[in-house]
Structure 1
Amino acid sequence: MSTEQTDTLIVGGGQAGIAMSEHLSKHAVPHIVLEKNRTAEAWRTGRWDSLVANGPAWHDRFPNLTFQGNNPDEFVTKDRFAEYLIDYAAMIKAPIREGVEVLQADRLAGEAGFRVKTSEGEIIAKRIVAATGAFQHPVIPPIVPETVGVEQIHSFNYKNPDALPDGAVMVVGAGSSGAQIADELNRAGRKVFLSVGPHDRPPRRYRGRDFVWWLGVLGLWDVAALEPGTEHVTISVSGAYGGRTMDFRRLAGEGVILTGRTNAYSDGVLSFSDDLQANVAGGDANYLEMLDLADAYVARNGLDLPEEPQARETFPDPECLTNPLSEIDLAAEGVSAIIWATGFRQDFDWLKVDAFDEKGAPIHQRGVSVAPDVYFLGLPWQSRRGSAFLWGVWHDAKHVADQIAIQRAYLDYDGQAAIVPAAAE
């Protein structure tokens, strides 16, 4: 049986792999997309039942297809989002092979390319694009032993309040996922504790415009990570219930008990850092900064957008904020479940090249790896703040595809005059 060959192998059939396929097709680059599950599997079966997109439909999409049948300002459901990706892949005729897992990729000896072992056999590829994204493996910190009589799950595996055992719930992590889950559980009548760390907290809407619009006109979507660590800033925003600003004082006023960051467990007691007030204040400062920038933009451009002074009004400080808890006894509080909204880790162990730092993170420039013929797509802050969004990954894919096309053009040179495509802007 002969080994299959292709120019470029894309690993991952989610939004990054689909975007990459589209741009490679425009350059007439032969390629294959391998997806170990189904297209858009994380949207189909991962995350909770009521999840909606965090951005409106007019914004969170690929440039060449709208969410047909949805209001442009709607925050579409996760099922609709999955349908959109599946429809887009079909529209561009992406050569996706579902149910094929990449096991290992090794560089060929003495020649260009890679030998890629998959669950369906071997493939020889001249280039590899790792498009597995940023949300690969849910991370649960080793704080509470598994032997403790409390159910522990990651936010990725949370489905709905009824799927949890009866009792109170501890939600660790107040980014978009943790805050939305805590809100849902509280609305369902559960007693909820929410562990809040440092975060950004943008307004959902201000002066008649969604915050994604403000980030766009203010040029903030294109901001690169300015210093180490800034690419991991937690953002708390929600499109749930029609879209509301995520305000932790409001949540606490509705019954959620806020705590500082979760840092230790001993003998049935979960303890917290003394940082809740500072973390909430930091989120408030980020919120007010956005309002200030928006007001200045309106004044500078003479826009007829209504003033919104009530946006600067604050909810009363709840008791849990003025007198933060230092610990809780899980049994005494009736906590039956802990939901860890604590992020994900990447896993590129299958890719046997020298392209990673000491923490296993890819070393790259806008997705072009330091390892020849290796590319990455779908990384947080790959080129800008918007890289993790649908439209952002589409633009990053264009840059990576352009670089692949340029390399192919140089390799086609046979010693005679050649026309080499201009570098991507």
Structure 2
Amino acid sequence: MTTHQTVDTVVVGAGHAGLAVSRLLTDAGRDHVVLDRGRIAERWRTERWDSLRLLTPTWMTRLPGWYPGGRDPEGFLSAAELTTYLERYAASFDAPIHAGTNVRRVAPARGGVGYDVRTDTGTWRTRHVVVATGPHGPNRVPVPLADLRAAELVPSSRYRNPGQLADGGVLVVGASASGVQIADELARAGREVTLAVGRHTRVPRRYRGLDLFWWLESTGRLGRTIDDVTEPLRARHEPSLQLVGRAERSDASDLDLSTLSQRGVRLVGRLQGLDGDRVALDDGLRARTVEADRALCRLLGSLDEYAARTGLARELLAPTRPRPVDPAPAPGWLDLRAERIGTIVLAAGHRPDHSWLALPVTGPDGAIRQYRGVTSAPGIYVVGQRFQHRRDSSFIDGARHDARDVVTHLVTGALPAAAVASEEPAA
């Protein structure tokens, strides 16, 4: 490409969210390009462990103008299968993707209207920019671990399989989706595993014979919007669900702290600090497991009420309640050398990184401040943030709703359907 090119819209990111926006822009006849530092679905190619499958069933990979087929809509796609799926989606409308293009900076255009998108291959002048890089940035580190010498630090984005890790025990930090799945895989491989547990959300894989996401969609929970919650900031920082997708339907069982304990995983509190070779832990393990169990029971009770109200109860399995998690007393310190822990896997989430946006659109936590994808900077949009507008915004299936909002506003200057809020919620 030449030093400068002009285009109506630049979409940054060729994952599912960026492709959803691209499809809708194509349908609207808008000139645009999709820039990505790597290939389509690059994170799914290079930042996922080998055995990972989607947490959501295949029927929940709907994108604009593209609905999942296949013989097993209740199954769970592997990372490789999802990559192929998104490649086919992009090819179906000839998405204008510029792979291997790293966006360095987005800033107001010099001496003109719009923005300059500077990349390592040149600069694009554009009226609109849609940020579709997702909520993921560097791994979140709960405490300063730069001086750690007794164990190797492995971010979850670099974890691939148990054989990759150094000999000895493993401390997994974080008990949401990634943490419990990695701890489970390591325990199944015969490794000694300790899991540092922070705030978490316990849910069943299936309830009364139906997948959890059938319940969440049918009861309207996935469509709940940020306008409906009293604490938007807390909602946007909810832990991911303790779930796993399995290749075999019969193995689609619950994965929570109770099942991990039965496999020999030791549960301890959240990381608090580092003193030489010793890691300090808090004493909140039991309180957090009690809180998660109570929230689970409230959820299941509401699902039972829905089944009774709609007449489904007669067709479903009988209600059940899982056994509460009952962790053993946890230590206040872990001596990594004495316990022969050779690896710490960081799975405590990610912190947003939008340092390349030279625009006043990010909040103190690094997330982009927006309402239904529209920011305070004219022509700057975002798709794919956690609970961007709907609770399902962080799932592949939810991108179609956020993409519709963004493209509708980009084309018409107004948001679709629901009334526009008079004030942007705090993010």
Give 3-state SS (helix, strand or coil) of 1:347's partner. coil
TM-score, normalised by the number of residues in structure 2:
0.91
Deviation at 1:163, TM superposition (A): 0.3
Q: Is structure 2 residue 257 aligned with structure 1 residue 256? A: no
Deviation at 1:338, TM superposition (A): 0.3
Q: Secondary structure at the match of 1:106?
A: strand
Cα drift, residue 67 of structure 1: 4.2
Residue 189 of structure 2 corresponds to: 188
User: Does the C-alpha gap of structure 1 residues 293 and 31 become closer, same or farther in structure 2, counting only changes over 3 Å?
Assistant: same
- Taking the aligned partners of 1:60 and 1:175, their CA distance within structure 2 comes to 21
Q: Deviations over 1:369-408 (max 9, x none)?
A: 111111111111111110011120111001100001104x
2:338 to 332, 341, 353: 332
Q: Give per-residue Cα distances to partners, 1:230-258, cap 9 Å, x unaligned.
A: 21111222113642222212211220000
Which residue in the other structure is 1:43 paired with? 44
**In 1, Cα distance between equivalents of 2:271 and 2:61:** 32
**262-271 or 395-404: which moved more?**
262-271
Equivalent residues of 1:136, 1:344 under 8 A apart: yes
Alpha-carbon distance in structure 2 between the residues aligned to 1:338 and 1:423: 45
Query: How far did residue 290 of structure 1 move?
Result: 1.7
So what's the TM-score if we normalise by structure 1?
0.91
Task: Quickly say closer, same or farther: Cα 1:270–1:4, change in 2 above 3 A.
Answer: same
Moved more, 2-11 or 107-116: 107-116
Q: CA deviation at 1:174?
A: 0.3
1:300 paired to 2:301: no
Match of 1:416 in 2: none
The 1:350–1:257 alpha-carbon spacing in structure 2 relative to 1, beyond 3 Å, is: same
Specify the SS of the correspondent of 2:342.
strand
The AA in structure 1 aligned to 2:303 is A
Give the stretch that moved more between structures: 228-237 or 64-73: 64-73
AA of the residue aligned to 1:136: G
Q: Unmatched 5+ residue regions in structure 2?
A: 418-427
**What is the distance in 2 between the residues matched to 1:139 and 1:197?**
13
Residue 27 in structure 1 maps to residue 19 in structure 2: no
Tell me which of 280, 283, 286 is aligned to 1:277.
Answer: 286
Aligned length: 407
**Which residue of 2 is the match for residue 166 of structure 1?**
167
Correspondence list, 1:280-291, <5 A: 280-291=289-300
| 1:75-134 CA-partner distances (Å, limit 9, x unpaired) | 111111111111111112110110011111221245321122111111110111111111
Deviation at 1:68, TM superposition (A): 4.2
One-letter identity of the residue aligned with 1:253: Q
Q: Residues 296, 185 of structure 1: CA spacing in aligned structure 2 closer, same or farther, 3 A cutoff? A: same
Cα separation, 2, equivalents of 1:26 and 1:316: 50
Residues 29 and 147 (structure 1 numbering): CA distance in 2 closer, same or farther, change over 3 Å? same
Same amino acid, percent of matched pairs: 36
Query: 1:401 corresponds to which residue?
Result: 407
User: Where does the alignment leave 5 or more consecutive residues of structure 1 unmatched?
Assistant: 408-421
| Cα distance between partner residues in 2 of 1:284 and 1:186 | 23
Aligned partner of 1:359: which letter? D
Does 2:425 correspond to 1:424?
no
- How has the CA–CA distance of structure 1 residues 272 and 334 changed in structure 2, closer, same or farther, with 3 Å as cutoff? same
- CA distance in structure 2 between the partners assigned to 1:395 and 1:141 by the alignment: 33
Q: Give the equivalent residue in structure 2 for 1:229.
A: 234
Q: Deviations over 1:250-276 (max 9, x none)?
A: 211220000111111213111211111
How far apart, in 2, do the equivalents of 1:63 and 1:305 lie? 33
Q: Which residue of 2 aligns with 1:6?
A: 7
The question of whether the paired residues in 1 share the 8 Å contact of 2:144 and 2:273 is answered with: yes
1:344 to 339, 350, 366: 350
**Equivalent-residue separation in structure 2 for 1:221 and 1:372 (angstroms):** 29
| Partner amino acid, structure 2, of 1:213 | W
Q: 1:145 Cα deviation (Å)? A: 3.3
Structure-1 residue corresponding to 2:328 = 322
Please state how far the C-alpha of 1:325 moved relative to its aligned partner.
2.0
